Amino acid sequence: MPEIHHTDLLVVGAGPAGYTAAIYAARASLKPILVTGMQPGGQLTITTDVENYPGFATPVQGPWLMEQMRAQAEHVGTQLVYDLIVRADLKNGPGPDGYFRLVGDSGDEFRARTVVIATGAQAKWLGLESEKRLQRGGVSACATCDGFFYRGKTVAVIGGGNTAVEEGLYLTHHADKVHLIHRRDSLRAERILQERLFSNPKIEVHWNQAVEEILGSGEPEVVCGVALKDTQTGALSKLDVDGVFVAIGHTPNAGPFRHEVACDSDGYILTESSGTETSVKGVFAAGDIQDRIFRQAVTAAGTGCMAALEAERYLSGIPAMTKT
Ligand code: NDP
Protein backbone atom coordinates (compact mmCIF):
# COMPACT_ATOMS: atom_id res chain seq x y z
CA MET A 1 0.00 0.00 0.00
CA PRO A 2 1.67 3.27 -1.11
CA GLU A 3 2.43 5.70 1.70
CA ILE A 4 2.50 9.48 1.86
CA HIS A 5 5.61 10.91 3.56
CA HIS A 6 5.83 14.52 4.75
CA THR A 7 9.11 16.31 5.47
CA ASP A 8 10.64 19.76 5.69
CA LEU A 9 13.55 18.61 3.57
CA LEU A 10 13.71 15.78 1.07
CA VAL A 11 17.14 14.70 -0.12
CA VAL A 12 17.20 12.78 -3.37
CA GLY A 13 20.40 10.76 -3.76
CA ALA A 14 22.71 8.82 -1.45
CA GLY A 15 26.20 9.94 -2.38
CA PRO A 16 28.49 12.29 -0.41
CA ALA A 17 26.36 15.32 -1.36
CA GLY A 18 23.06 13.72 -0.32
CA TYR A 19 24.33 12.27 2.95
CA THR A 20 26.03 15.53 3.93
CA ALA A 21 22.86 17.53 3.19
CA ALA A 22 20.92 15.03 5.30
CA ILE A 23 23.40 15.22 8.21
CA TYR A 24 23.19 19.01 8.32
CA ALA A 25 19.41 19.04 7.89
CA ALA A 26 18.90 16.46 10.64
CA ARG A 27 21.10 18.41 13.03
CA ALA A 28 18.98 21.49 12.24
CA SER A 29 15.88 19.49 13.32
CA LEU A 30 14.41 19.44 9.81
CA LYS A 31 13.70 15.68 10.09
CA PRO A 32 14.96 14.98 6.59
CA ILE A 33 13.96 12.03 4.48
CA LEU A 34 16.62 10.74 2.10
CA VAL A 35 15.50 8.71 -0.91
CA THR A 36 18.47 6.58 -1.88
CA GLY A 37 17.95 5.84 -5.59
CA MET A 38 19.24 2.77 -7.42
CA GLN A 39 22.89 2.91 -6.33
CA PRO A 40 23.05 3.96 -2.67
CA GLY A 41 26.54 5.31 -2.02
CA GLY A 42 26.98 6.61 -5.55
CA GLN A 43 30.20 6.50 -7.53
CA LEU A 44 32.39 5.78 -4.48
CA THR A 45 30.86 2.33 -4.24
CA ILE A 46 32.72 1.33 -7.42
CA THR A 47 36.13 2.54 -6.25
CA THR A 48 38.55 0.85 -3.90
CA ASP A 49 41.16 2.90 -2.00
CA VAL A 50 40.18 6.49 -1.21
CA GLU A 51 43.15 8.57 -0.10
CA ASN A 52 41.93 12.09 -0.75
CA TYR A 53 38.92 12.36 1.54
CA PRO A 54 40.14 14.35 4.54
CA GLY A 55 40.10 12.82 7.99
CA PHE A 56 41.70 9.45 7.31
CA ALA A 57 45.44 9.10 7.66
CA THR A 58 45.49 5.79 5.82
CA PRO A 59 43.46 4.82 2.72
CA VAL A 60 39.85 3.80 3.25
CA GLN A 61 37.63 1.77 0.95
CA GLY A 62 35.01 3.73 -1.04
CA PRO A 63 32.09 1.44 -0.07
CA TRP A 64 33.14 1.60 3.61
CA LEU A 65 33.29 5.42 3.51
CA MET A 66 29.78 5.58 2.07
CA GLU A 67 28.52 3.12 4.66
CA GLN A 68 29.92 5.41 7.38
CA MET A 69 28.16 8.41 5.83
CA ARG A 70 24.89 6.47 5.73
CA ALA A 71 25.26 5.42 9.37
CA GLN A 72 26.11 8.99 10.39
CA ALA A 73 23.10 10.40 8.53
CA GLU A 74 20.80 7.87 10.23
CA HIS A 75 22.44 8.35 13.62
CA VAL A 76 21.61 12.07 13.63
CA GLY A 77 18.01 11.43 12.63
CA THR A 78 17.68 11.05 8.86
CA GLN A 79 14.96 8.70 7.66
CA LEU A 80 16.27 6.62 4.76
CA VAL A 81 13.83 5.34 2.16
CA TYR A 82 15.06 2.80 -0.39
CA ASP A 83 13.15 4.03 -3.40
CA LEU A 84 13.76 5.80 -6.71
CA ILE A 85 12.11 9.12 -7.48
CA VAL A 86 10.39 8.73 -10.84
CA ARG A 87 8.24 11.86 -10.87
CA ALA A 88 8.79 15.32 -9.43
CA ASP A 89 6.40 18.23 -9.71
CA LEU A 90 8.65 21.16 -9.00
CA LYS A 91 8.51 23.74 -11.75
CA ASN A 92 5.21 25.27 -10.67
CA GLY A 93 6.43 25.63 -7.10
CA PRO A 94 4.93 23.97 -4.03
CA GLY A 95 1.20 23.28 -3.80
CA PRO A 96 -1.19 25.48 -1.78
CA ASP A 97 -0.21 23.49 1.32
CA GLY A 98 3.44 24.56 0.85
CA TYR A 99 4.66 21.10 -0.19
CA PHE A 100 6.36 19.94 -3.40
CA ARG A 101 5.18 16.53 -4.56
CA LEU A 102 7.47 13.75 -5.72
CA VAL A 103 6.62 10.12 -6.43
CA GLY A 104 8.76 7.03 -5.92
CA ASP A 105 8.95 3.90 -8.04
CA SER A 106 7.17 2.11 -5.18
CA GLY A 107 4.17 4.40 -5.60
CA ASP A 108 4.96 6.25 -2.36
CA GLU A 109 4.40 10.01 -2.48
CA PHE A 110 6.88 12.40 -0.89
CA ARG A 111 5.60 15.82 0.15
CA ALA A 112 8.46 18.16 0.96
CA ARG A 113 8.75 21.85 1.81
CA THR A 114 12.26 21.90 0.35
CA VAL A 115 14.12 19.49 -1.93
CA VAL A 116 17.84 18.86 -2.33
CA ILE A 117 18.63 17.10 -5.60
CA ALA A 118 21.87 15.14 -5.19
CA THR A 119 21.48 12.44 -7.80
CA GLY A 120 25.07 12.65 -9.08
CA ALA A 121 26.51 11.77 -12.43
CA GLN A 122 27.86 8.64 -14.00
CA ALA A 123 31.05 8.23 -15.93
CA LYS A 124 30.44 7.01 -19.44
CA TRP A 125 32.09 3.68 -20.09
CA LEU A 126 33.22 2.02 -23.29
CA GLY A 127 30.83 -0.86 -22.70
CA LEU A 128 33.39 -3.67 -22.78
CA GLU A 129 32.97 -6.71 -20.55
CA SER A 130 36.67 -6.55 -19.61
CA GLU A 131 36.27 -2.91 -18.57
CA LYS A 132 33.57 -3.86 -16.09
CA ARG A 133 35.43 -6.93 -14.84
CA LEU A 134 38.59 -4.91 -14.13
CA GLN A 135 36.97 -1.92 -12.42
CA ARG A 136 38.53 -2.96 -9.15
CA GLY A 137 41.75 -3.98 -10.84
CA GLY A 138 43.09 -0.90 -12.57
CA VAL A 139 40.24 0.53 -14.66
CA SER A 140 39.15 3.93 -13.40
CA ALA A 141 37.20 6.98 -14.53
CA CYS A 142 38.93 9.43 -12.16
CA ALA A 143 42.62 10.29 -12.38
CA THR A 144 42.46 12.63 -9.37
CA CYS A 145 41.11 9.75 -7.29
CA ASP A 146 43.32 6.93 -8.51
CA GLY A 147 46.34 8.46 -10.29
CA PHE A 148 48.46 8.35 -7.16
CA PHE A 149 48.53 4.55 -7.29
CA TYR A 150 50.46 4.63 -10.60
CA ARG A 151 53.67 6.22 -9.42
CA GLY A 152 56.45 5.17 -11.78
CA LYS A 153 54.05 3.12 -13.93
CA THR A 154 52.52 3.23 -17.40
CA VAL A 155 48.89 4.15 -17.94
CA ALA A 156 46.45 4.71 -20.79
CA VAL A 157 43.82 7.43 -21.00
CA ILE A 158 40.93 6.92 -23.40
CA GLY A 159 39.20 9.94 -24.97
CA GLY A 160 39.92 13.18 -26.78
CA GLY A 161 37.99 15.87 -24.86
CA ASN A 162 39.02 18.28 -22.11
CA THR A 163 38.63 15.61 -19.45
CA ALA A 164 40.90 13.13 -21.23
CA VAL A 165 43.61 15.72 -21.80
CA GLU A 166 43.40 17.09 -18.25
CA GLU A 167 43.50 13.56 -16.85
CA GLY A 168 46.46 12.71 -19.07
CA LEU A 169 48.37 15.79 -17.92
CA TYR A 170 47.50 15.14 -14.29
CA LEU A 171 48.68 11.53 -14.56
CA THR A 172 52.15 12.65 -15.69
CA HIS A 173 52.70 13.83 -12.10
CA HIS A 174 52.61 10.19 -11.05
CA ALA A 175 53.10 7.83 -13.99
CA ASP A 176 56.32 7.55 -15.98
CA LYS A 177 54.42 7.18 -19.24
CA VAL A 178 50.92 8.14 -20.35
CA HIS A 179 49.38 6.81 -23.58
CA LEU A 180 46.45 8.93 -24.75
CA ILE A 181 44.25 6.82 -27.00
CA HIS A 182 41.75 8.58 -29.23
CA ARG A 183 39.40 7.15 -31.83
CA ARG A 184 39.87 10.02 -34.33
CA ASP A 185 42.80 12.02 -35.74
CA SER A 186 42.07 15.27 -33.89
CA LEU A 187 41.19 16.19 -30.34
CA ARG A 188 38.06 17.89 -29.13
CA ALA A 189 39.92 19.47 -26.18
CA GLU A 190 40.65 23.21 -26.00
CA ARG A 191 43.70 24.37 -27.95
CA ILE A 192 45.65 25.43 -24.85
CA LEU A 193 45.23 21.99 -23.30
CA GLN A 194 46.28 20.35 -26.56
CA GLU A 195 49.46 22.44 -26.62
CA ARG A 196 50.30 21.34 -23.09
CA LEU A 197 49.61 17.74 -24.02
CA PHE A 198 51.76 17.75 -27.15
CA SER A 199 54.67 19.41 -25.39
CA ASN A 200 54.70 16.92 -22.50
CA PRO A 201 57.45 14.35 -23.10
CA LYS A 202 55.75 11.74 -20.92
CA ILE A 203 52.64 11.63 -23.14
CA GLU A 204 52.29 9.69 -26.37
CA VAL A 205 49.12 10.17 -28.42
CA HIS A 206 47.75 7.22 -30.38
CA TRP A 207 45.45 8.48 -33.16
CA ASN A 208 42.57 6.59 -34.76
CA GLN A 209 42.64 3.83 -32.17
CA ALA A 210 39.61 2.11 -30.67
CA VAL A 211 40.00 -0.01 -27.55
CA GLU A 212 38.89 -3.55 -28.40
CA GLU A 213 39.66 -5.07 -25.03
CA ILE A 214 41.27 -4.27 -21.71
CA LEU A 215 43.69 -7.05 -20.88
CA GLY A 216 44.17 -8.43 -17.39
CA SER A 217 46.44 -10.95 -15.72
CA GLY A 218 47.17 -12.41 -12.30
CA GLU A 219 45.04 -13.38 -9.35
CA PRO A 220 43.38 -11.12 -8.33
CA GLU A 221 43.25 -9.98 -11.93
CA VAL A 222 44.77 -6.56 -12.68
CA VAL A 223 45.17 -4.57 -15.87
CA CYS A 224 48.23 -5.47 -17.96
CA GLY A 225 47.42 -3.93 -21.34
CA VAL A 226 44.95 -2.78 -23.96
CA ALA A 227 44.12 -4.35 -27.32
CA LEU A 228 43.64 -1.68 -30.00
CA LYS A 229 42.17 -1.54 -33.49
CA ASP A 230 43.08 1.17 -35.97
CA THR A 231 39.79 2.84 -36.98
CA GLN A 232 41.20 3.61 -40.47
CA THR A 233 43.11 0.48 -41.44
CA GLY A 234 41.66 -2.13 -39.07
CA ALA A 235 45.19 -3.05 -37.94
CA LEU A 236 45.35 -4.66 -34.50
CA SER A 237 47.95 -3.83 -31.87
CA LYS A 238 48.63 -4.15 -28.16
CA LEU A 239 50.01 -1.75 -25.57
CA ASP A 240 51.34 -2.81 -22.18
CA VAL A 241 49.88 -0.60 -19.44
CA ASP A 242 49.32 -0.90 -15.68
CA GLY A 243 46.13 1.16 -15.55
CA VAL A 244 43.38 2.45 -17.83
CA PHE A 245 41.56 5.74 -17.31
CA VAL A 246 38.34 6.02 -19.28
CA ALA A 247 37.64 9.73 -19.89
CA ILE A 248 34.90 9.81 -22.49
CA GLY A 249 32.50 12.06 -20.62
CA HIS A 250 29.91 11.92 -17.86
CA THR A 251 26.13 11.76 -17.81
CA PRO A 252 24.30 13.68 -15.09
CA ASN A 253 21.51 11.68 -13.45
CA ALA A 254 18.89 14.36 -14.06
CA GLY A 255 16.05 11.83 -14.56
CA PRO A 256 12.68 13.29 -13.58
CA PHE A 257 14.26 16.67 -12.74
CA ARG A 258 15.43 17.41 -16.29
CA HIS A 259 12.41 19.52 -17.18
CA GLU A 260 11.50 20.67 -13.68
CA VAL A 261 14.47 22.93 -12.94
CA ALA A 262 16.75 24.78 -15.37
CA CYS A 263 19.49 22.53 -16.75
CA ASP A 264 22.24 23.10 -19.30
CA SER A 265 22.14 21.33 -22.65
CA ASP A 266 23.83 18.22 -21.21
CA GLY A 267 21.39 17.92 -18.31
CA TYR A 268 23.51 19.38 -15.50
CA ILE A 269 21.32 21.38 -13.12
CA LEU A 270 22.09 25.10 -13.13
CA THR A 271 22.62 26.64 -9.71
CA GLU A 272 23.41 30.12 -8.41
CA SER A 273 27.08 30.88 -9.08
CA SER A 274 28.04 30.81 -5.41
CA GLY A 275 25.29 28.64 -3.99
CA THR A 276 23.03 25.68 -4.61
CA GLU A 277 19.69 27.35 -5.39
CA THR A 278 18.11 26.11 -8.60
CA SER A 279 15.69 28.01 -10.83
CA VAL A 280 12.85 26.92 -8.49
CA LYS A 281 12.69 28.53 -5.06
CA GLY A 282 12.95 25.91 -2.33
CA VAL A 283 14.75 23.42 -4.59
CA PHE A 284 18.52 23.06 -4.28
CA ALA A 285 21.06 20.94 -6.13
CA ALA A 286 24.33 19.59 -4.76
CA GLY A 287 27.19 17.40 -5.94
CA ASP A 288 27.97 16.13 -9.40
CA ILE A 289 24.47 16.77 -10.74
CA GLN A 290 25.44 20.46 -10.76
CA ASP A 291 29.23 20.23 -11.08
CA ARG A 292 30.90 19.12 -14.28
CA ILE A 293 34.34 20.41 -13.31
CA PHE A 294 35.51 19.20 -9.88
CA ARG A 295 33.48 15.98 -9.35
CA GLN A 296 35.19 15.06 -6.07
CA ALA A 297 33.62 13.41 -3.04
CA VAL A 298 34.79 16.29 -0.86
CA THR A 299 33.41 19.00 -3.17
CA ALA A 300 30.12 17.08 -3.40
CA ALA A 301 29.98 16.89 0.40
CA GLY A 302 30.73 20.62 0.56
CA THR A 303 27.86 21.55 -1.72
CA GLY A 304 25.59 19.12 0.17
CA CYS A 305 26.32 21.11 3.32
CA MET A 306 25.62 24.37 1.48
CA ALA A 307 22.29 23.06 0.16
CA ALA A 308 21.09 22.08 3.64
CA LEU A 309 22.11 25.46 5.10
CA GLU A 310 20.38 27.28 2.24
CA ALA A 311 17.24 25.17 2.64
CA GLU A 312 17.21 25.94 6.36
CA ARG A 313 17.44 29.66 5.64
CA TYR A 314 14.71 29.39 3.02
CA LEU A 315 12.41 27.66 5.50
CA SER A 316 13.12 30.35 8.09
CA GLY A 317 12.26 33.06 5.59
CA ILE A 318 15.82 34.38 5.57
CA PRO A 319 17.14 35.48 2.15
CA ALA A 320 19.57 33.10 0.46
CA MET A 321 23.20 33.62 1.47
CA THR A 322 24.15 34.33 -2.12
CA LYS A 323 21.76 37.24 -2.25
CA THR A 324 22.79 39.13 0.88
P1 NDP B 1 33.49 15.36 -24.22
O2 NDP B 1 32.14 14.91 -24.62
O3 NDP B 1 33.93 16.75 -24.52
O4 NDP B 1 34.59 14.41 -24.89
C5 NDP B 1 34.45 13.03 -24.85
C6 NDP B 1 35.60 12.42 -25.65
O7 NDP B 1 35.50 11.02 -25.54
C8 NDP B 1 35.56 12.78 -27.13
O9 NDP B 1 36.85 13.00 -27.60
C10 NDP B 1 34.94 11.54 -27.76
O11 NDP B 1 35.43 11.25 -29.03
C12 NDP B 1 35.42 10.46 -26.82
N13 NDP B 1 34.46 9.36 -26.79
C14 NDP B 1 33.14 9.41 -26.52
N15 NDP B 1 32.59 8.18 -26.56
C16 NDP B 1 33.61 7.34 -26.86
C17 NDP B 1 33.70 5.95 -27.04
N18 NDP B 1 32.62 5.15 -26.91
N19 NDP B 1 34.89 5.41 -27.37
C20 NDP B 1 35.99 6.18 -27.50
N21 NDP B 1 35.98 7.52 -27.32
C22 NDP B 1 34.79 8.09 -27.01
O23 NDP B 1 33.61 15.00 -22.65
P24 NDP B 1 34.55 15.64 -21.55
O25 NDP B 1 34.29 14.88 -20.30
O26 NDP B 1 35.94 15.71 -22.01
O27 NDP B 1 33.99 17.10 -21.36
C28 NDP B 1 32.59 17.30 -21.09
C29 NDP B 1 32.32 18.79 -20.97
O30 NDP B 1 32.93 19.30 -19.78
C31 NDP B 1 32.90 19.61 -22.12
O32 NDP B 1 32.03 20.69 -22.38
C33 NDP B 1 34.21 20.09 -21.58
O34 NDP B 1 34.64 21.27 -22.22
C35 NDP B 1 33.85 20.32 -20.11
N36 NDP B 1 35.03 20.22 -19.27
C37 NDP B 1 35.68 21.34 -18.94
C38 NDP B 1 36.80 21.31 -18.18
C39 NDP B 1 37.48 22.57 -17.86
O40 NDP B 1 36.97 23.62 -18.24
N41 NDP B 1 38.60 22.55 -17.18
C42 NDP B 1 37.36 20.04 -17.67
C43 NDP B 1 36.63 18.90 -18.10
C44 NDP B 1 35.51 18.99 -18.88
P45 NDP B 1 35.05 12.16 -30.32
O46 NDP B 1 35.89 13.39 -30.16
O47 NDP B 1 35.45 11.29 -31.46
O48 NDP B 1 33.59 12.42 -30.23
CA 3 to chain centre: 30
For residue 322, pLDDT beyond 80: no
- Mean pLDDT value of segment 157-185: 96
Compute the distance between CA of residue 214 and CA of residue 223 in angstroms, rounded to an integer. Answer: 7
- For the CA of 184, the closest atom of ligand 1 is 47
> What percent of the chain has pLDDT above 90?
85
**Which pLDDT value is given to residue 45?**
78
- Mean pLDDT value of segment 286-295: 93
Query: 321: pLDDT confidence band, cut at 50, 70 and 90?
Result: low
Instruction: Give the global pTM.
Output: 0.79
Compute the distance between CA of residue 235 and CA of residue 105 in angstroms, rounded to an integer. Answer: 47
Give 23-69 pLDDT, tens digit per residue.
999 999 999 999 999 888 888 876 667 888 999 999 898 889 999 99
- Which DSSP state fits 303? H
Choosing from 125, 126, 139, 163 the residue with most ligand 1 atoms within 8 A of its CB, the one to mutate for a pocket test is: 163
CATH class of the 126-247 domain in this structure: alpha beta
Tell me the H-state helices in the chain.
Answer: 16-27, 62-75, 129-133, 143-146, 162-171, 191-198, 297-315
**Which pLDDT value is given to residue 1?**
85
Domain with CATH 3.50.50.60 in the chain: 4-122+250-316, 126-247
Exposure string over 143-157, b if 16+ CB within 10 A, otherwise e: bebbbebbeebbbbb
Compute the distance between CA of residue 149 and CA of residue 30 in angstroms, rounded to an integer. Answer: 41
- Mean pLDDT value of segment 143-171: 94
**Which pLDDT value is given to residue 318?**
76
Q: Which fold has domain 4-122+250-316?
A: FAD/NAD(P)-binding domain (3.50.50)
The more confidently predicted of residues 261 and 324 is 261
10 Å CB burial of residue 274 (0-12, 13-18, 19+) is exposed
> What percent of the chain has pLDDT above 70?
97
Neighbouring residues of 310: CB distance < 8 A, sequence distance ≥ 6: 275, 276, 277, 284, 320, 321, 322
Q: Is the CB of residue 292 below 6 angstroms from any atom belonging to ligand 1?
A: yes
The more confidently predicted of residues 163 and 84 is 84
Q: What is the Å distance from ligand 1's center to 187 Cα? A: 9
